[in-house]
Amino acid sequence: MLQLITEYFIPTVVPLAYLLGFGFAIDAIVKTRTSQGATAWALGLVLMPFLSLPMYWVFGRARFSNYINALRSFDAQVEKMLRGARAPAETVAIDPKEGHDRRAQGELRAFEQLATLNFTPGNSVSLLIDGDETFRSIFEAIDEAENYVLVQFYIVRDDIVGGQFRDRLIHAARRGVRVYLLYDEVGSYKLGRKYVGSLRDAGVHVAGFSGNRRWLSRFRLNFRNHRKIVIVDGKSAFMGGLNVGDEYLGRDKKLTPWRDTHLAISGPAVSGLQYSFARDWYYGHQVTLDLNWTAPGGQASVKKGDDQQALVLASGPADNLETCGLLFTHAIESAEERVWIASPYFVPDGRVLGALQLAALRGVDVRIIVPKMTDNVLFKYVPYAYLPEVEKAGAKVYLYEEGFMHQKVFVVDHDYAAVSTANFDYRSFLYNFEITCLIRGRTFSEDVATMLENDLLSCVQLSRQSLEEHTFFFRVATSITRLIAPIL
């Protein structure tokens, strides 16, 4: 055996591995979407090909032309039908009495250009804090559905909550409601045939989202659909950080209590969420769903105090621009008083990191809340990896200590706030299909700020001194984590 290794394996396989590593390093440099990611992949492929080649084949850059072509076909077929969702006639105007000027108008226009939608008035929006309130609201809405229910989650589990969710979808289908369930094939890899089969037997349309329909495509594991949406009759919807599983109710002993935020919304902005779901469904089936695109809304159709201005922004790797990263960057750059961000992961790219630093330097109250508890050992070190750079500029980083915090939320000044499925990291910025709901107005902004202030009561502020107090090995791990952050 030793002779076989020395005579054949080392002279043949080792040079071949390094040759392949060099070749795919060039591929990474050409195709990876960021310079940091390209550098990390190239170094790994050249220096450690045996380890890096399998990782690159699974998680590296891949084409997604099938998805782009499918969306073009979908848009062409339903352009007239969806005109109200894509470019609503009644859009938000800038009120000079509120102190807005051309700059504010330009800031809003940039958000609308990124979303390819407009802010729409006449929405009723409310925060759903944690799993009990969220699932109770979603279950009630499904039970009251009359025409159809659209459901999309990154993770669906066959556990207690997953069983309750399945039963409600089955009951809805049996009473004549059209039900569609779209789950991510990687996020829901544990979901068994029995679970899916019971839904299909009841008449529920079930599909797994795959980034590419081609067999063994590298795309399948790298570009994931991270959206979490429930839509009922085209009139009401839910979106946010929660998937379907017991851990989202704090039943995982390793990750309890679970802190998360979801959003309940009704009104014209629901069409934006529905549009995103319909495109994803069309990609997998080439079927255009028959949906309600005339959700009630507008100034005359909402109760006093419920007139919220909302914008839905769907982002993903098929976008012409890096939509999600630009959303965060623009929000930070537009801040004048405060920008507070809560995310389970904090892995900013250079553009977003620079925006945070500049905001802090111009006197903006920059606060970043991340969990001390983590579901990934590598992310234990990530907050410390970026701490020196943000703290030097005056930004503050807080560790949430009361369990695992999974919410994806930000608030800017007193003007607008967002609930999202997107984490504050490279993967959400560049590789995942995400959805964000941006709400403009003081009322909702203050609701989010109050919620985050309550979260801050369970936080401890990090400092460079806290990093220096850790062991040498912890600091080394932090430095290594920073190096590989672009490909996490």
Given a contact cutoff of 8 angstroms between Cβ atoms, the answer to whether 348 and 386 are in contact is: yes
Whether residue 228 lies in the annotated active site: yes
Confidence of residue 270 (pLDDT cuts 50, 70, 90): very high
**pLDDT over 90 for what percent of the chain?**
56
**Given CA atoms 315, 317, 319, 324 in this order, what sign does their dihedral have?**
positive
Catalytic-role residue among 307, 349, 413, 425:
413
> What's the confidence (pLDDT) of residue 81?
57
Question: Burial, 363: exposed, middle or buried (Cβ in 10 Å; 0-12, 13-18, 19+)?
Answer: exposed
Residue count (the chain): 488
Confidence of residue 483 (pLDDT cuts 50, 70, 90): confident
Least-confidence region, from 23-32, 125-134, 221-230: 23-32
Helix or strand (DSSP H, E) at 342: strand 338-342
Catalytic-role residue among 205, 235, 396, 406:
406
The answer on pLDDT for 404 being more than 70 is yes
Whether residue 233 lies in the annotated active site: yes
Per the model's pLDDT, the better-predicted residue between 87 and 159 turns out to be: 159
Map 268-310 to HEC letters: CCHHHHHHHHHHHHHHHHCCCCCCCCCCCCCHHHCCCCCCEEE
Whether residue 226 lies in the annotated active site: yes
The answer on pLDDT for 393 being more than 90 is yes
Q: How far is CA 461 from CA 123, 307, 366, 387, in A?
A: 36, 36, 13, 11
Least-confidence region, from 29-38, 333-342, 355-364, 379-388: 29-38
Confidence of residue 317 (pLDDT cuts 50, 70, 90): confident
DSSP annotation of 421 reads S
Q: How many CA atoms lie within 13 A of 169 on its CB side?
A: 29
> What's the confidence (pLDDT) of residue 456?
98
Least-confidence region, from 281-285, 360-364, 367-371: 281-285
The answer on pLDDT for 328 being more than 90 is yes
Per the model's pLDDT, the better-predicted residue between 405 and 288 turns out to be: 405
> What's the confidence (pLDDT) of residue 7?
56
Kindly report, residue by residue over 156-205, the tens digit of the pLDDT.
Answer: 999 999 999 999 999 999 999 999 999 999 999 999 999 999 999 999 99
Catalytic-role residue among 130, 158, 184, 228:
228
The answer on pLDDT for 361 being more than 80 is yes
Confidence of residue 300 (pLDDT cuts 50, 70, 90): very low
Q: Which residue type sits at 393?
A: A
> What's the confidence (pLDDT) of residue 91?
47
Catalytic-role residue among 205, 226, 262, 372:
226
Catalytic-role residue among 130, 184, 233, 307:
233
Q: What is the mean pLDDT of residues 413-435?
A: 93
> What's the confidence (pLDDT) of residue 356?
97
> What's the confidence (pLDDT) of residue 417?
98
Most confident of 90-99, 176-185, 294-303: 176-185
The answer on pLDDT for 208 being more than 90 is yes
The answer on pLDDT for 21 being more than 50 is yes
- Mapped onto helix, strand or coil, the DSSP state of residue 178 is strand
Whether residue 408 lies in the annotated active site: yes
Give the angle subtended at the CA of 270 by the CAs of 264 and 273, to the nearest 5°: 95
The answer on pLDDT for 451 being more than 70 is yes
**Given CA atoms 311, 315, 318, 320 in this order, what sign does their dihedral have?**
positive
Of 138, 158, 142, nearest to 238 (Cα)?
A: 138
Kindly report, residue by residue over 42-53, the tens digit of the pLDDT.
Answer: 777 777 777 777
Catalytic-role residue among 158, 408, 415, 455:
408
The answer on pLDDT for 64 being more than 70 is no
Percent of the chain as helix, strand, coil, to the nearest 5: 50, 20, 30
Give the angle subtended at the CA of 421 by the CAs of 244 and 94, to the nearest 5°: 135
Mean of all residue pLDDT scores within the chain: 84
The answer on pLDDT for 96 being more than 50 is no
> Any idea which residue has 């590419």 for tokens?
212
> What's the confidence (pLDDT) of residue 54?
74
Confidence of residue 304 (pLDDT cuts 50, 70, 90): very low
The answer on pLDDT for 84 being more than 70 is no
Kindly report, residue by residue over 375-389, the tens digit of the pLDDT.
Answer: 777 777 887 888 888
Per the model's pLDDT, the better-predicted residue between 64 and 403 turns out to be: 403
Beta bridge partners of 411: 340, 417
